[in-house]
Amino acid sequence: MKTIDKYVFQALDSYPFSLEETIESLDYAFSYDSKNTMVLCLYGRIQAEQLTNYEDAKSYFQEALAINIHALEVYPHYLRTLILNEDYEEALKLADFALTVKGINKAGIFVQKAILLEVQHKFKEALKEIKSAKIYSIQHDYDSGISEIEKRIKDKIDLLKDKKKKSGKSKKDSKKKSK
């Protein structure tokens, strides 16, 4: 095992519970290889998930993918960052491209696409992506997460139906009162 791997493992083991240890290990790993995509990805995750600095996070993810377009670990985190930063068009393009990368966790990418559509209130389209995620899922533990997201989206659809029913009733009630 290379020394850089030791520091990458230490950083991954420490994240997110000990950010100081994570950064220290990442800095050591970065000094050994500044083009290590796993290191750049974790720096990006820290920027996005801990500091909510999405633009800096995007830079780390872009740098990692520029070094290696097959850096599979980058895509899910980069997608989530784009969604949180409301870069929806860019997120859709990245998701569509990620699905063409050999070895990618397609179920995970479909889940991210569903979340992207969910935040845009395109719930029926999101459910189609959930269906694709279920088809490509090969991990039992992951299936329950997909089902939770599906339930959340369906609950939002139900909320909108309830809201429409209530607004329809209140319009009828106000017409009756005005007569």
The CATH number of the structural domain formed by 3-171 is 1.25.40.10
Separation CA 156–CA 87 (nearest Å): 22
Residue 42 DSSP class: H
Is residue 175 pLDDT above 80, yes or no? no
Mean pLDDT (whole number) for 66-74: 98
pLDDT in the model for residue 100: 98
Tens digit of pLDDT for each residue in 92-141?
999 999 999 999 999 999 999 999 999 999 999 999 999 999 999 998 77
pTM for the whole structure: 0.89
User: Tokens 């083991």 identify what position?
Assistant: 13
Q: H or E segment at 177?
A: helix 140-178
pLDDT in the model for residue 142: 78
Tens digit of pLDDT for each residue in 25-48?
999 999 999 999 999 999 999 999
